[in-house]
Amino acid sequence: MTSLFSLRNVHKSYNGQVALNIDELDFMPRRIYSLVGPNGCGKSTLLQILALLLKPTAGELFYRGQAIAWKRRELQNVRREVTLVHQSPYLFHRSVRYNLAYGMKLRGIAEQEQGERIARILELVGLTGFEDRNARELSGGEQQRVAIARALLLRPRVLLLDEPTSNMDKKSIDEFDALLPILMEQDLTIIQATHQPDQPQRLGSAIIGMDLGRLV
Ligand code: ADP
């Protein structure tokens, strides 16, 4: 099976300081991976490289067996398949519907189709009936789920999650953990950075331990 992502001798430095130094790492399709390690160990840097938002200082990244050349057209194509959801996602101070419809409007999707997709995606993330709620007035966990719903509406193949539960209370974390297996049924690959020590095992996730920018 072709790997989804492969990294070979990937280095990333900021002002001469090494943030990431990975000799070899492969991600296979339709699996869930958890990046685990202390603050500053390089999890976000790795996620941003996989999202093609950050170019490594050296080394090669492959997507579906193709070496990324960091050319504009290619980046646009891959970014359509790979979506990063940030730790504190930016949502408009508007309804959940407005937030979710925004990207579809830009892509010229008809209004009726937008409504249908929104209803389906809200059911998937457990927020049925939230269409008219102000997105910024929701709990941290609910906002994170709106952000995931927004990402999924663009139908990515890879969902990258940067510490999705870091701003959540216990109840929201439990709801979020219950959501991940449901997302896996969407033919998705999920790569998440997590602070929760025992969550990856509960989910049957592959664990990628990191420290000082390296795999451990
Ligand atoms: P994590 O997500 O595991 O907390 P990061 O990938 O954010 O780790 O950071 C890895 C290292 O790179 C840290 O030492 C951090 O200080 C440094 N770093 C991250 N982003 C930047 C940046 N934009 N400028 C300078 N240094 C950075």
Kind and range of the H or E element at 19? strand 17-27
Under-70 pLDDT residues of the chain: none
- Ligand 1 centroid–CA 94 distance in Å is 32
> Quick one: pLDDT at residue 81?
95
For residue 164, give the 3-state DSSP assignment: coil
Could you give the CA distance from residue 179 to residue 197 in angstroms, rounded to a whole number?
A: 18
Nearest CA, atom 17, ligand 1:
19
> Quick one: pLDDT at residue 9?
98
DSSP letter, residue 95: B
CATH number of the domain residue 128 falls in: 3.40.50.300
> Quick one: pLDDT at residue 172?
87
- Ligand 1 centroid–CA 193 distance in Å is 13
Q: Count up the domains in the chain and report the number.
A: 1
Could you give the CA distance from residue 162 to residue 46 in angstroms, rounded to a whole number?
A: 10
Burial degree of 134 (CB within 10 A; 0-12, 13-18, 19+): middle
Q: What is the largest CA-CA distance in the chain?
A: 52
What does DSSP say about strands 32-36 and 206-211: parallel, antiparallel, or unpaired?
A: parallel
- Ligand 1 centroid–CA 42 distance in Å is 6
Helix intervals (H) in the chain: 43-50, 72-81, 96-106, 111-124, 140-153, 170-184, 199-202
Helix axes 140-153, 170-184, angle to 10 degrees: 20
Is the beta carbon of 45 within 6 A of some atom in ligand 1?
A: yes
Stated pTM of the model: 0.94
> Quick one: pLDDT at residue 154?
86
Pocket test for ligand 1, best of 36, 44, 87, 195 (most atoms within 8 A of CB): 44
CB 10 within 8 A of CB 214: no
Is the beta carbon of 19 within 6 A of some atom in ligand 1?
A: yes
> Quick one: pLDDT at residue 169?
86
Nearest CA, atom 20, ligand 1:
45
Nearest to 162 by CA among 106, 95, 83, 57: 83
- Encoded tokens for 109: 């999707």
Is the beta carbon of 43 within 6 A of some atom in ligand 1?
A: yes
Domain carrying residue 105: 5-215
